Amino acid sequence: MTTSTTQERRGAARVEFQGRVELDATDSGAHLTADSVNVSEGGICLRVPNAMEIRSSVMLRLFTQPRRRPVECAGRVAWVTQRSDLRDAPPFMYDIGVEFIKPSARLRQFASRIGVDLKPTALRNGSQARAGVALRPAALHGRSYIPKLTQESTPASRWHLVVTVDGAPCFSRRYASAQEAREVWKQFKKRGGR
């Protein structure tokens, strides 16, 4: 296990954590072994070989030390990004952000040990979306792109735009307004899905 701290645009400290993580998707029953990327006050970023449904429930097992019982925690997928920069052709890898749900004492101890102070569930970013705005899908280069725009119930009430292509998430970003997100979708279509 190795760790190092980086600061992100959001201002939340993200600590690089390179350890083994197993993930069970509670809805589909899928079992994945993931590479961890980093941990923050609200969750963990994982690199996985399959796209996952945003807001789907998962059970995590973090192997923080060899020959010790893993740290377990329930979570919810908050965002998904296809990493086409890591491979030139399919199968692509995906980075997913998993929000911790009711972190256990063991998870809090582990996070504290690597320098992350976990926030209570109600105070974290990436809370449940509360409203959606309809955007029209687009067919580009014979592929179906479907946008989904939701407003998050966070203090900043940011708008989250997620675009899926043929059922797999390919784009996910947050914006200050619905209008800004709509404009990004418009430009995305003009550029042919790039």
CA 97 to chain centre: 2
Determine the pLDDT at residue 154: 59
Counting as low any pLDDT under 50, the low residues of the chain are: 1-11, 122-131
DSSP H helix total and E strand total for the chain = 2, 13
Alpha carbons 61 and 21: distance in angstroms, whole number: 6
Tokens of 45: 């970023």
Q: Which one-letter DSSP state was computed for residue 177?
A: S
Determine the pLDDT at residue 3: 42
Determine the pLDDT at residue 53: 86
Tokens of 186: 């418009």
Determine the pLDDT at residue 4: 42
Judge contact between 181 and 148, C-beta under 8 A.
no
Determine the pLDDT at residue 159: 81
Determine the pLDDT at residue 12: 55
Q: What is the DSSP string of 48-70?
A: ESS---TT-EEEEEEE-STTSPP
With a threshold of 0.85, does the pTM exceed it? no
